[in-house]
Structure 1
Amino acid sequence: MELSYWELKNWFTNVDYTIVGSGIVGLHAGLRLRERFPTAKILVLEKGMLPEGASTKNAGFACFGSISEIMDDLKTHTEEDVVQLIEKRWKGLQLLRKRLGDDVIDFRPYGGYELFLKEDEFGFNECVNRLPFINEILKPLFKAEVFTKEVDRFGFENIQEYLIFNPFEAQIDTGNMMQELLKQAVAANVLILNQQTVTSYTDTGNYVEVVLDDFSFISKKILFATNGFANTLTKGAVMPARAQVIITEPIANLDIKGTFHLDRGYYYFRNVGDKILLGGGRNLDFETENTTEFGQTKIVQNKLEDLLKNVILPNQDFRIAHRWSGIMGVGNSKKPVVLQLSENVFCGVRLGGMGVAIGSLIGTELADLI
């Protein structure tokens, strides 16, 4: 890379903080660093044309988890850890809304619903029986009953008679969210360079040498906000998890409004105006879906179309307009990894598919490690 004197001077000289990743976490970290260090030189490096991982590729759920997901978490985490994580998700959503504004992100508080398939009678009964307990442990946080049983009024088929409703969940427009975050970062004099891949780095103790494809520069500190792409960085504590998503063409007289979950959160759908967006299915083939490669597979795509046809939009014509995928970061624990890795190297990763909810908080915590 042949750089001019001007380019070196303005972008790569006297860099205080380099942030790798321009998603929700990275930009919130940049904005928080700017609040704390008004004169610092802050540089964000992004390997994609747009934020590469899941920040612009998610389903736009402003949520803290379905009841079956919470119960699943209770099998592998303590009650205290589960409640703390839900609190983090809730506070993160409030921080996101406060920073960006509900109008900008098209925040729509339609509530959230969980469906249970006909064959999942055991899972349904288990959730209904545990409903009072889950409401009890969440009451100090929400000061109200979170989950209630409701009769299906949407015309779904092949499901249990009742849905479980949560009035606190909502939808947002992910594209609007990231555009506004980018605008705020630029307005705060946070420098952002796209199509830049950090290939290696060396912490000398006094500074970090940051190596790009064919160029290196010096930064006082480096902060990694690369989530699903942080496997080598965290020595395996973060695994990539691909999520496949489809969206339909507009559907006449669509009467579905809200965010919906199925099967412990492994499937999720919502309306986007008069379209249906549906994603998930990585539990069909975990091994294949633990990848940093974008793309679709037949097993997942067929299942998503089957759910649309036989559960979500029965007896309705629909056409798939678009398919895509995003890369999340998951691990043995759902607790995010916010760590100082060495003297001048930090990371905020492993958001466990909860990036919209906790990304703003994790970005802030990452910046506050400095």
Structure 2
Amino acid sequence: MQLSFWELKNWFTNIDFTIVGSGIVGLHCALELREKFPLAKILVLEKGILPQGASTKNAGFACFGSVSEILDDLRSHSEEEVLQLVQKRWEGLQLLRKRIGDEALDLKPYGGYELFLKDDESTYEDCLQKLPFINELLKPLFKNDVFSKEIDRFAFQGIHEYVLFNPYEAQIDTGNMMQQLLRMATNKHILILNQQTVTSYVEKNNEVEVVLDDFSFQTKKLFFATNGFAKELTNGEVKPARAQVLITKPIANLDIKGTFHLDKGYYYFRNFENRILLGGGRNLDFEGETTTALGQTEIIQNKLEQLLKEVILPNQSFEIEHRWSGIMGVGNHKNPVVRQLSENVFCGVRLGGMGVAIGSLIGKELADLMN
């Protein structure tokens, strides 16, 4: 690509910080760097028309883990590690709310519910039995019991009588959140270029040469905030994990309000106004969903539709209006990876499907590596 003198001068000369990825992590990193370095030239590169991972494609859950998810985490992490994970997610949500504001997020504090299918007796009994233990574990953070047992009042079918309620969970509008973040970055004179794919980079003395598809430029520091797409360039312990989602057309007299979790968080749904948004099913085909390709599969879409018909909306007619997918970043450990890769290259990746909750905090931690 042949660039003009003006393009080179204004966009690709004397760059202090280049951030790859314009999602939640990348934009929070850019905004934090702007606060630390008011005069710095900051460039954000995004390979899509919009953020390509999960930042504009998630379900809009402001959550930090259901009881079955936390119990699942305790099988591979210590109690202290799990408490720290929940704390990071909770602090990240507070940072997101502080930066963007509840009105701009369209935050709705309806609370969250965990449901248990009738044929999953063991998980149901395990969660009820260990409810006091989980509440005690989280008490240092919340000062109160987080989870309580309630009778299902939503007329779901095929589930156990009791649901677990969490008053600290909320819904946000994902589109509003990302639009506001982009607006804030632009207002702070942060340059954002879309449809720019970084193919490699080379460290040179005190700078990094960033190679795009058809040209390269120099930057003083390079940050990767590419989460599910991170493996190729960061060699991090990150695997992509596709999440498939659908949303119904408006449903008359819909009485469901809140965020809902099923099957250790592998399925999740919520209302958006008078529609149902439902996602998940990665556990039906872990290998197939370990991909960076956006799209849907019959096995997962059929299961989502079955849940809608038999469990969520058993006595209501509905039509599906739209389907999509997003790419998360997961690994063997739930802790995010925020580290210096070399003298002038850094990464903040592996958000473990909790990007809304921890993305802002990881962006801040990534920028704080400049201290």
- TM-score class, shorter-chain normalisation, is over 0.9
Deviation by residue 1:279-311 (Cα, 9 ceiling, x = unmatched): 000000000000000000000000000000000
Q: 2:241·2:292 contact (CA, 8 Å) conserved in 1?
A: yes
User: Which one-letter code corresponds to 2:273 in the other structure?
Assistant: G
In the alignment, the residues of structure 1 paired with residue 18 and residue 51 of structure 2 have an alpha-carbon distance, to the nearest angstrom, of: 16
Q: 1:267·1:281 contact (CA, 8 Å) conserved in 2?
A: yes
- Give 1:140 shift: 1.0
Show structure 2 runs of 5+ residues with no match.
none
- Give 1:118 shift: 0.3
- Give 1:206 shift: 1.2
Q: 2:224·2:234 contact (CA, 8 Å) conserved in 1?
A: no
Matches within 5 A, 1:206-225: 206-225=206-225
Deviation by residue 1:78-124 (Cα, 9 ceiling, x = unmatched): 11010001000000000000000101110000000000000011100
Which residue is 1:320 aligned to? 320
Q: 1:244·1:324 contact (CA, 8 Å) conserved in 2?
A: yes
Q: 2:200·2:233 contact (CA, 8 Å) conserved in 1?
A: no
- Say if 1:258 and 1:79 are closer, same or farther in 2 by CA, change over 3 A: same
- Give 1:315 shift: 1.5
User: Which one-letter code corresponds to 2:220 in the other structure?
Assistant: K
Which residue is 1:31 aligned to? 31
Which residue is 2:175 aligned to? 175
In the alignment, the residues of structure 1 paired with residue 248 and residue 321 of structure 2 have an alpha-carbon distance, to the nearest angstrom, of: 5
Which residue is 2:283 aligned to? 283
Q: Secondary structure at the match of 1:287?
A: coil
User: Which one-letter code corresponds to 1:271 in the other structure?
Assistant: N
Which residue is 1:97 aligned to? 97
Deviation by residue 1:143-193 (Cα, 9 ceiling, x = unmatched): 111000000000000000100000000000000000000000001110000
Structure 1 length normalisation: TM-score?
0.99
Mapped pair 1:331 → 2:331 = yes
- Say if 1:344 and 1:236 are closer, same or farther in 2 by CA, change over 3 A: closer
Which residue is 1:273 aligned to? 273
Which residue is 1:255 aligned to? 255
Matches within 5 A, 1:58-137: 58-137=58-137
Which residue is 1:147 aligned to? 147
Which residue is 2:196 aligned to? 196
Which residue is 1:44 aligned to? 44
- Give 1:232 shift: 2.3
In the alignment, the residues of structure 1 paired with residue 337 and residue 369 of structure 2 have an alpha-carbon distance, to the nearest angstrom, of: 12
- Give 1:236 shift: 5.2
Mapped pair 1:163 → 2:156 = no
User: Which one-letter code corresponds to 2:134 in the other structure?
Assistant: I
In the alignment, the residues of structure 2 paired with residue 171 and residue 180 of structure 1 have an alpha-carbon distance, to the nearest angstrom, of: 16
User: Which one-letter code corresponds to 1:156 in the other structure?
Assistant: F
Which residue is 1:307 aligned to? 307
Show structure 1 runs of 5+ residues with no match.
none
In the alignment, the residues of structure 2 paired with residue 304 and residue 12 of structure 1 have an alpha-carbon distance, to the nearest angstrom, of: 46
- Identity in percent: 75
In the alignment, the residues of structure 2 paired with residue 152 and residue 309 of structure 1 have an alpha-carbon distance, to the nearest angstrom, of: 18
Mapped pair 1:228 → 2:228 = yes
- Give 1:233 shift: 3.0
Q: 1:205·1:344 contact (CA, 8 Å) conserved in 2?
A: no
In the alignment, the residues of structure 1 paired with residue 97 and residue 235 of structure 2 have an alpha-carbon distance, to the nearest angstrom, of: 34
Q: 1:205·1:343 contact (CA, 8 Å) conserved in 2?
A: no
In the alignment, the residues of structure 2 paired with residue 119 and residue 176 of structure 1 have an alpha-carbon distance, to the nearest angstrom, of: 38
Q: 2:20·2:26 contact (CA, 8 Å) conserved in 1?
A: yes
Q: Secondary structure at the match of 2:2?
A: coil
Q: 1:337·1:347 contact (CA, 8 Å) conserved in 2?
A: yes
Q: Secondary structure at the match of 1:199?
A: strand
Q: 2:348·2:366 contact (CA, 8 Å) conserved in 1?
A: yes
In the alignment, the residues of structure 2 paired with residue 247 and residue 241 of structure 1 have an alpha-carbon distance, to the nearest angstrom, of: 20
In the alignment, the residues of structure 1 paired with residue 181 and residue 19 of structure 2 have an alpha-carbon distance, to the nearest angstrom, of: 15
Structure 1 runs of 4+ aligned residues shifted over 3 Å read none
Q: 2:15·2:43 contact (CA, 8 Å) conserved in 1?
A: yes
User: Which one-letter code corresponds to 1:162 in the other structure?
Assistant: Y
Q: 1:202·1:210 contact (CA, 8 Å) conserved in 2?
A: yes
Q: 1:227·1:349 contact (CA, 8 Å) conserved in 2?
A: yes
Q: Secondary structure at the match of 1:292?
A: coil
In the alignment, the residues of structure 2 paired with residue 180 and residue 96 of structure 1 have an alpha-carbon distance, to the nearest angstrom, of: 11
User: Which one-letter code corresponds to 1:146 in the other structure?
Assistant: V
In the alignment, the residues of structure 2 paired with residue 212 and residue 175 of structure 1 have an alpha-carbon distance, to the nearest angstrom, of: 28
Q: How many residues align?
A: 370
In the alignment, the residues of structure 1 paired with residue 309 and residue 149 of structure 2 have an alpha-carbon distance, to the nearest angstrom, of: 25
In the alignment, the residues of structure 1 paired with residue 236 and residue 27 of structure 2 have an alpha-carbon distance, to the nearest angstrom, of: 24
- Give 1:130 shift: 0.3
